[in-house]
Amino acid sequence: MTGRVLALDVGTRRLGVAVSDPTGTVASPLATVPRRTPAEDATALAALAAEQDATTVVAGLPVTLAGKEGPAARAVRAYLEELRPLLPGLRFELVDERLSTVAAERALVGGGVRRRDRRQVVDQVAASVFLQTWLDRRAGEAGQP
């Protein structure tokens, strides 16, 4: 893998962003970006990608617990179709993000983060949860421990 990987948790009001380390082993929360227009969002994401030397964006696809795509998944797909041409230097992949927000909330509660403070970081923590799963799967496919 060349370059870091950004993860994007697409919400209606915010974009949670996480990033991998340079080796593609560990995911970390990075930023929460307020959603505006796709062009403004692309500008913010391009700046984060350049700052982090990222070449890939892994976007979470909110499928149902049954594994089906509903309105939320269709909305994410539509949004990414608007973003892709605005970020031509980045490769996009989709990943199942089921239960990533639940896992993020549990981790933050377990860490003693207050409710008001959790709201500010839960999207980026959720992005790091599904990015870590994606990184682990890629390592397993490559035969790495």
pLDDT value of position 104: 62
Residue 15 pairs in a beta bridge with 10, 33
The continuous run of DSSP H or E covering 119 comes out as helix 115-141
Query: What is the pLDDT at residue 105?
Result: 65
Percent of the chain with pLDDT over 70: 83
Whether pLDDT at 6 is above 60: yes
Distance separating the N- and C-terminal Cα atoms of the chain:
16
DSSP β-bridge partners for residue 130: none
pLDDT of residue 84: 96
Q: Could you tell me which of 115, 95, 83 has the C-alpha nearest to residue 9?
A: 95
Q: What average pLDDT score do residues 54-78 get?
A: 90
Mean pLDDT across 121-130 = 84
Taking the model in full, what pTM does it have? Answer: 0.85
More confident residue, 125 or 99: 125
Do 47 and 6 touch, CB atoms closer than 8 A? no
Domains and CATH numbers, the chain: 4-141 (3.30.420.140)
In this structure, the number of other CB atoms found within 10 A of the CB of residue 29 comes to: 21
